[in-house]
Copies of this chain bind each other. A is one copy, B any other.
C-alpha cells in the first residue's frame, strides 16, 4: 500500500467522489451536480488528485470526461470504504466532515446566476 493512498482517502470530499464513481463511470459534470456545495473547479482539482494517486481513471468522449474508480488499486482500502458506506449514519458523518474540512473563501451567494441581459452599459 502506497502512502499516497492514505492521503487521498483522508478527505471526505474525495471519498464521496470515489463512492459516486464506484460502480459506474460518471462525467465530471454529473459529479459536480451531486455536490453543488462547491464549484466545478473544486471538483476538478480533487479529480486530478485522485487521478494522480491512481485511484480513478478517466476517458474523454466529445466534450465530456468520464471518471471511474480503480478499485483494484485500493486493495484493503476498498473494504474499508464499503464498510463505511454500509453504516446507517455515514451520510450524516459525511456532512459533518465536509463542513469541518472546508477551507478558503465562503461562496458569495448561490453563485451569480448571470443576469439575463446586463449588456446595457458598454
Contact = CB atoms under 8 A, between A and B. Distances in A.
Interface of A: 1-3, 5-7, 9-10, 12, 15, 75-77, 79-81, 83-84, 87, 90, 93-94, 97
A80 B76 contact: yes
Contact of A83 (B7, B15, B76): B76
Contacts of A9: 6, 9-10
Copies in the complex: 2
A80 B90 CA distance: 22
A111 B97 CA distance: 37
A76 B6 CA distance: 13
A75 B83 contact: yes
10 contacts: A1-B81, A1-B83, A3-B15, A3-B97, A6-B10, A6-B15, A76-B77, A76-B79, A76-B80, A76-B83
B12 A10 contact: no
